[in-house]
Amino acid sequence: MTQFQFIGSVEHISERFLLPVLEALLQAFPFVILGFHSDNGSEYVNPRVARLLEKLRIEEFTKSRARRSNDNALVESRNSSVVRKHLGYAHIPGQFAQQVNAFTQGILSPYLNFHRPCFFPTEEIDARGRLKKRYRYEDMMTPYDKLKSLPNAEQYLRPGISFEQLDAIAYAMSDNEAAQRLNHARAELFRSINKAQNPAA
């Protein structure tokens, strides 16, 4: 697991707004996507989304089961540790979705994938024969570094994508510079939103 993730924002949860953003998010992944898992909503489970996945040659499509909260555990944990951490808990009106989407796709997603270190587990068998996962500091790396560390990693890249291209994104700035850029862009985003909601008298 590489922990690559891309975040988007839509004005309303409906096919009309979701499909273009969904296509952009799926195209942003540098590797071939083999499967797609969604929640049970009709905005995801419908013929238009199925056609989009077919066009992108994504073969496996699964959905969450009704009344099975564990099916979405990974998504909900990302909502807390990533989305809420960087965008907060306050309601952002739909009219600002394009601004938020530009921030999440242009600034936040590259930071998460190329500059934010993540723990990756090492699996060990304990004395009782049980599988244990250890999270060691020496195994901490960015999702991009994890992708590059896979054996024969080039085979997983999408056609037309190379590690030289991805290196140019990853090493264009340091991790600290990327974090500063993220903080500055987020502050500007919310300043713009607050100004639009509370114009000077």
- Identity of the highest mean pLDDT range in 117-126, 169-178, 191-200: 169-178
User: Looking at per-residue confidence, does 176 or 199 come out higher?
Assistant: 176
Contact (CB, 8 A) for 4 and 148: no
Q: What pLDDT is recorded for position 72?
A: 66
88: in domain: yes
As a whole number of angstroms, the distance between CA 112 and CA 5 comes to: 7
What does R_g of the chain's alpha carbons equal in angstroms?
19
62: in domain: yes
Q: What pLDDT is recorded for position 74?
A: 64
Q: What pLDDT is recorded for position 16?
A: 82
133: in domain: yes
Range of 61's domain? 15-197
Instruction: Report the pLDDT averaged over residues 125-140.
Output: 87
Domain tally for the chain?
A: 1
35: in domain: yes
128: in domain: yes
What percent of the chain lies above the pLDDT cut of 70?
A: 85
- Which of 164, 106, 119 is closest to 146 using CA atoms? 119
Q: What pLDDT is recorded for position 151?
A: 93
Contact (CB, 8 A) for 7 and 104: yes
Q: What pLDDT is recorded for position 90?
A: 87
5: in domain: no
Give the least confident one: 38-42, 89-93, 98-102, 168-172. 38-42
Instruction: Report the pLDDT averaged over residues 34-39.
Output: 75
1: in domain: no
37: in domain: yes
Q: What pLDDT is recorded for position 201?
A: 47
